[in-house]
Amino acid sequence: MSVEWRTDDGPVEYEEAVRAQEERVAAIRAGVASELVWLLEHPPLYTAGTSARAEDLVEPLFPVFRTGRGGQFTYHGPGQRVGYVMLDLKARGLDLAAYVRGLEEWLIRTLASFNVKGERRPGRVGIWIAAGGREAKIGAIGVRVRHWISYHGVSLNLDPDLGHYRGIVPCGISEHGVTSLADQGVIATVAEADLALRRAFADVFG
């Protein structure tokens, strides 16, 4: 299947990105557009998924957007690469659980290209790193599916300001931290990250 790739280097406003995804989902369903993976970053903001709890918004340092993706509160901002994935799951087996595992594997393989070991954790969404006697989250996942077309997707921390996370309890998990490639001593440019993401995606989704 042909998947189109779009990359934006400058910050994309969150509401604009959601609107563009919804338009593409409708076009894919109508058979007039191909599947799309869109790599971008946002200005600093928090998003609240469908399971977000009010008490997990500790201090609204940045604008807060209610969104239809699954999950709880997360942060987006400069230094974080977001991957919005619009795939026709009807043509890919109608298996939402397998799709989410594929997104996890995508991030794990991307991290491996930088010699960083990302891991799943039972009962926790996202990708985690065990380093220095602690566990920290480096990649987040939040998806929505409409008429079996996916949107929203993943985020990977390259070098964001980790202090920006203090305004929320990320994904409702307070006992573990948040990390980034830079925090692990790995400097990756946006171009390098995009190339790694594209190669890993091909390995996982074909």
Rounded CA separation 39/153 (Å): 10
Full pLDDT tens readout for the chain, 206 residues = 689 999 999 999 999 999 999 999 999 999 999 999 999 999 999 999 888 999 999 999 999 999 988 888 999 999 999 999 999 999 999 899 999 999 999 999 999 999 999 999 988 889 999 977 789 999 999 999 999 999 999 999 999 999 999 999 876 666 678 999 999 999 999 999 999 999 999 999 98
∠ CA 129-47-10, rounded to 5°: 85
Dig out the tokens for 48 from the structure.
């609240």
Rounded CA separation 180/157 (Å): 5
Rounded CA separation 41/86 (Å): 17
Which DSSP letter does residue 42 get? -
Residue 90: give its domain's CATH number: 3.30.930.10
Dig out the tokens for 96 from the structure.
């939402």
Longest dimension (CA), the chain: 50
Domain count, the chain: 1
Q: Which of 20, 36, 171, 188 is catalytic?
A: 171
Burial of 118 (0-12, 13-18, 19+ CB in 10 A): buried
Please give the residue range of the domain that contains residue 108.
3-205
- Helices 96-112 and 190-205 pack at an angle, to 10 degrees, of 140
Rounded CA separation 202/185 (Å): 27
Known catalytic membership, residue 93: no
Beta-carbon contacts of residue 19 (< 8 Å; ≥ 6 apart): none
H/E segment holding residue 182: none
